[in-house]
Amino acid sequence: MRVIERISDLKAVIRSQKASGKTIGFVPTMGYLHEGHLSLVKASREENDFTIMSIFVNPTQFGPNEDFEKYPRNMEKDTSLAESVGADLIFSPSVSEMYPEGYKTYVDVEKITEVLCGKSRPGHFKGVTTVVTKLFNIVEPDKAYFGQKDAQQVVVISKMVKDLNMNIEIVMCPIVRESDGLAMSSRNTYLSMGERQEAVILSKSLFEAEEKIKNGERDPELLISFLRQKIETVNFAKIDYIEITDMANLNKLEEIHGKILIALAVKFGKTRLIDNVIVEV
Ligand code: AMP
């Protein structure tokens, strides 16, 4: 499997794949791969002739006090994992390849980037939409694969693709979890043993909230306070937000109906974890 670092080299490969009529599936990641990332490659392989994974820790989506420098990286292991599930190519550009000196252009989706994670991570989604636009322009995929783990990201990117008339189908894949329910994340590696044990409370309480909805609960406030109380029972958890919104515009709901998102972000020590469930009633 080829690993390409230069945009011009990748464009040459894309040109020849397209010339021979191949469809291209694309999986953007920041690396330090786990089964969640690999599930996206598997989905892409099923639906496309040629699957490209990008590995790029994108500085513009990290805030000044966030973990850009310390974000875990392991290119050697990532390459063999990506190869093991049949990725055809890894694109791993340097920061200066993506943002050469004098770089000036950003893509910004309004409103839906200011709620949920956007509230506590100002500028984060502007970095995401900018790098994803650049990657889409470089890779020119037919389909791009994203995880429900970052549900707001999928909503924001889908909106951007629609608003900017990009000819790309966005596919959202289910959250892959550890056997105890914790959503897989590259950042789980930061957790101490105690934090790791306690972090299971996130998925556990989300599943219980989902069950309550299935049993007829329709009051978002009651569900949010149920979640809050459950999560506050563990020592290390510090809640950033717990919200229930619609899936289309991420607006807070007065009543549970339609396709809804229950999303939360909770800090365990210095590690901020996110998780969610999507429920349809
Ligand atoms: P990241 O490397 O964290 O930027 O994630 C790259 C892609 O993998 C994003 O589309 C994520 O939503 C997706 N992803 C991360 N964790 C998971 C997971 N546990 N299950 C499914 N997809 C995931």
Please choose from 26, 40, 77, 202 the residue to mutate so as to test ligand 1's pocket, defined by most ligand atoms within 8 A of CB. 40
Which whole number is the average pLDDT over 22-46? 98
This prediction has a pTM of 0.98
pLDDT in tens, 103-161: 999 999 999 999 999 999 999 999 999 999 999 999 999 999 999 999 999 999 999 99
Q: Is residue 37 annotated as a catalytic residue, yes or no?
A: yes
174 Cα nearest atom in ligand 1 = 21
CATH code of domain 186-276: 3.30.1300.10
Separation CA 275–CA 85 (nearest Å): 25
Exactly one of 34, 37, 124, 257 is catalytic; name it: 37
**What are the φ/ψ torsions at residue 141 (nearest 5 degrees)?**
-75, 160
For residue 184, give the ligand 1 atom closest to its CA: 19
Banded model confidence at residue 212, pLDDT cuts 50, 70, 90: very high
Place of tokens 């040109």: 15
Query: What is the C-alpha radius of gyration for the chain, rounded to an integer number of angstroms?
Result: 19
- CB of 275 sitting under 6 A from ligand 1: no
The full set of domain ranges for the chain reads 2-173, 186-276
Burial 10-25 (b: 16+ CB within 10 A, else e): beebbeebeeeeeebb
Starting at the edge strand that comes first in sequence, how are the strands of the sheet with 24-29 ordered?
Answer: 2-4, 89-91, 50-55, 24-29, 143-147, 169-173
Per-residue model confidence (pLDDT) at position 18:
98
Domain 2-173 has CATH 3.90.1150.10: no
pLDDT of residue 273: 98
Q: How many CB atoms lie within 10 A of CB 238?
A: 11
